[in-house]
Structure 1
């Protein structure tokens, strides 16, 4: 198990975190008695107004963790505290009043929209289902005004409200998904690879939109991506995941410019460089081990260029190596 207790609030930052995750596990039962640990003992915290990036290779558990944070997927063990309230085992009826404050933007912008319904209906639905903060139902005029405001927020014309999802481009559909996530003025948005299916130029527009909304509305994001350039642009802190656990956690600039974990270093070296004739470091050797039969000791040792006998025998805990950085490595690089 590789965990690290969340950093307690200091005098300079006495406000409790918006999201506090403690020893979180998500295990799937497989045939023949096998188990897959998609999330393996993760602990982290996200403060109000922060953007935490989750990065790692495909299959490392990023999306599963994102769904667990919002209780879209039930967890196997551990705790999730949202705004100080333990939501880990809340039944759906008790969780429903919190749903407006926790929203998600999915990767597939088309599959997450009902193709049979107009955009006005898709955006108005959460406004009709959930009452206001005072428990009142919204009037039709209030809903219409809110829809117009949302269209302006995400940069779409009002005429878009009367159209269907198939009439939009991928980038426009993602703007609609963002508008739907914003409809109830949430505190936290989990964005699950929201730009990975878009063209590079459109990616930049959507990332800029996320950044503008965060600055204007004071939103808190957990931003899932496998593209380090995206994470570098949008996040203030980054958690690097591998086989369901966090390998490195810290300020984005520090982690990506001066990696302390060999896996983080390998990810940064894999980013293409626009330099003709530049010597590229060798890629990661071997394949990602099966999460069903994870290696003993450090889960990265089978691909690590600096692995020692200790790495094969003992799993390193995620430990603080500086004030704002933690790493799960016996022999950190920084």
Structure 2
């Protein structure tokens, strides 16, 4: 496999490119590349919080990368960094081969059409004072059409009707306000807004965590249907592995700002190599009566302001050894397309 250029500042920076999905050829270049990205917040009294701590990965066109981990692990911060909604402290983010980390807002604006986000809070992300039609039409008015010209009113109206059809909402919804819809319907509206400009990459930040279980399944199915119909590329952020398993082709497991395991979805979920991944997998409900379950993960996530020395997971790891206290493991290959940051992985090959 082709490898990302080595970054000497991070042992985890040399990673293979993502496996191509069925819709992408093996020779295609990644749509998104993340190279040793860090996001550091400077706090009072000289303290620093490393929300994203040296992450490198790639996403191929048409792929769905699931980004999972407990609350506070940095996955939402990374998702915002990918779209330059939050500036990175160091490292590179390449979109379709172009480094976007240092672009000015003016230079970045044409790329905004190709990179969109679906936020977690379906209500807070919609202006309650404006009709849904106005909210969806705004990006179509702000950005020019494919021919570089301002879109006509008729063109915008036709596109709004297309968007309603895509997310299975009636056209009459365009004349209503956000408070008139259920949580699931509001999330469909947010998805429609993200799709308004026909993006290539969509980052979905915990898009179903605030919804009822039955509605979650509907929204996940909608994401999957849109990905198949439109050839979209997703970075799907979630803390629920059951949700990620439904839609992702690959999974990156994050802990305390770093990726601790990366691989094909089936490999990571059925044969987890990192003890943390195994604990997350064990927490997924099993329908079979008497199905074997691993012991639940104990303890709390350490403060990212005072991250433990050595392996960042060793304070909660049931298999911790002395080496884990002293030496931070690098993300290394243990099989084709399967990587883990653990001195003593649970599975190899």
Could you say which TM-score interval applies, normalised by the shorter chain? over 0.9
Deviation at 1:307, TM superposition (A): 1.1
Q: Secondary structure at the match of 1:37?
A: strand
Structure 1 unmatched runs, 5+: none
Contact in 2 for aligned 1:256/1:268 (Cα 8 Å): yes
**2:313 corresponds to:** 300
**2:119 corresponds to:** 106
Deviation at 1:283, TM superposition (A): 1.9
Deviation at 1:280, TM superposition (A): 4.5
Aligned partner (choices 2, 14, 31) of residue 5 of structure 1: 14
Q: Secondary structure at the match of 2:113?
A: helix
Deviation at 1:282, TM superposition (A): 2.6
Deviation at 1:53, TM superposition (A): 0.1
Q: Deviations over 1:214-246 (max 9, x none)?
A: 000000000000111100001000000000000
Deviation at 1:320, TM superposition (A): 1.1
Q: Secondary structure at the match of 1:137?
A: coil
Superposed counterparts of 1:183-202, under 5 Å: 183-202=196-215
Count of residue correspondences: 334
Question: How far apart, in 2, do the equivalents of 1:286 and 1:332 lie?
Answer: 20
Structure 2 unmatched runs, 5+: 1-9
Contact in 2 for aligned 1:2/1:315 (Cα 8 Å): no
Deviation at 1:276, TM superposition (A): 4.9
**1:145 corresponds to:** 158
Q: Deviations over 1:144-193 (max 9, x none)?
A: 00000000000000100000000000000000000000000000000000
* Alignment CA distance shift 1:174-1:150 (3 Å): same
Q: Deviations over 1:37-64 (max 9, x none)?
A: 0000000000000000000000000100
TM-score, normalised to structure 2, is 0.93
**1:128 corresponds to:** 141
**2:218 corresponds to:** 205
Question: How far apart, in 2, do the equivalents of 1:18 and 1:331 lie?
Answer: 33
Superposed counterparts of 1:19-98, under 5 Å: 19-98=32-111
**2:6 corresponds to:** none
Deviation at 1:3, TM superposition (A): 1.6
Q: Secondary structure at the match of 1:5?
A: coil
Question: How far apart, in 1, do the equivalents of 2:237 and 2:54 lie?
Answer: 18
The answer to whether residue 169 in structure 2 is matched with residue 160 in structure 1 is no
Question: How far apart, in 2, do the equivalents of 1:277 and 1:3 lie?
Answer: 39
Q: Secondary structure at the match of 2:55?
A: strand
Deviation at 1:284, TM superposition (A): 1.6
Question: How far apart, in 2, do the equivalents of 1:87 and 1:80 lie?
Answer: 6
Deviation at 1:285, TM superposition (A): 2.3
Q: Deviations over 1:293-321 (max 9, x none)?
A: 10000000111111111111110001111
| Alignment root-mean-square deviation, CA | 1.5
